[in-house]
Amino acid sequence: MNLVIDVGNTRTKLAVFDKNNIITVVVVSQSEVLDGIKELRKSYSQLHLAIVSSVGVLDQAVVNYLNIHFNLLVLSHETPLPFNNLYATPKTLGIDRIALVCASVQQFSNKNVLIIDAGTCITYDFITNTNDYLGGSISPGIRMRYHALHNQTAKLPLLETQFPEHFIGNSTINAINSGIVYGVLSEIDGIIERYSADYSDLTIILTGGDTNFLSKQLKSSIFANSNFLLEGLNFILQHNTNG
């Protein structure tokens, strides 16, 4: 059994896999990571392999514990990967994006795949049907846009994420919701159209924290999978071990 640890900017996901099957997912704060790992180790005695992907900061005590009790793989730009990385600056490519591409290789091999990760940022990653990763794009996520309007202006309020009542906002609150939400939806649909024009049989994956909020509103046919990154990390661990 495998332990997959995804350290994000604000929270950490802990997942247990039995081969390719995800058994459980636990979301913890950064201060709860070590206790969460210990609890999972008690519940699943066959946990021996672990992988860590970190875009945030992982406490050294957690790393020490993992090194003692697990065969640990820390994902980096030097980790052997199951695709051809044609990114011009591979050392700057986020390891979360690497994991997403690996998931697409495992689940949608020999297809043109666009992966959209709607989280703190919205990232777009594209891999061809010949297993070549070409790159993608990065834009502000939904919450970042709400915060930017509030922080960069004198009077606009900070709102909770809410689907607009109408695309024409008849109040400041409705106008903010309309501008952000329809702006994001139009951006995503527009980028999908650009890729679809150049690449036939395009498979589109939507993942990340805003998956459920966005998936029903998009025009294009997509696969929505909030655990896609975790599945990619598990695949990388299997690719580099006998797990």
Residue positions in the annotated binding site for K(+)? 117
Active site residue 59: no
Strand partners, 154: none
Among 96, 189, 198, 201, the active-site one is 96
Query: How many C-beta neighbours within 10 Å does residue 46 have?
Result: 10
Residues annotated within the binding site for ATP are 6-13, 120
How many Å separate Cα 207 from the centre of its chain? 6
CA dihedral 56, 57, 61, 67 (to 10 degrees): 60
Q: Provide the angle, in degrees to the nearest 10, between the axes of the packed helices 33-43 and 60-69.
A: 20
- The candidate with the shortest Cα–Cα distance to 225, out of 113, 58, 130, 77, is 113
Annotated binding-site residue numbers for substrate = 87, 94-97, 172
Nearest partner of 22 among 226, 239, 242, judged by Cα: 226
Binding site as annotated, residues? 6-13, 87, 94-97, 117, 120, 172
Catalytic residues: 96
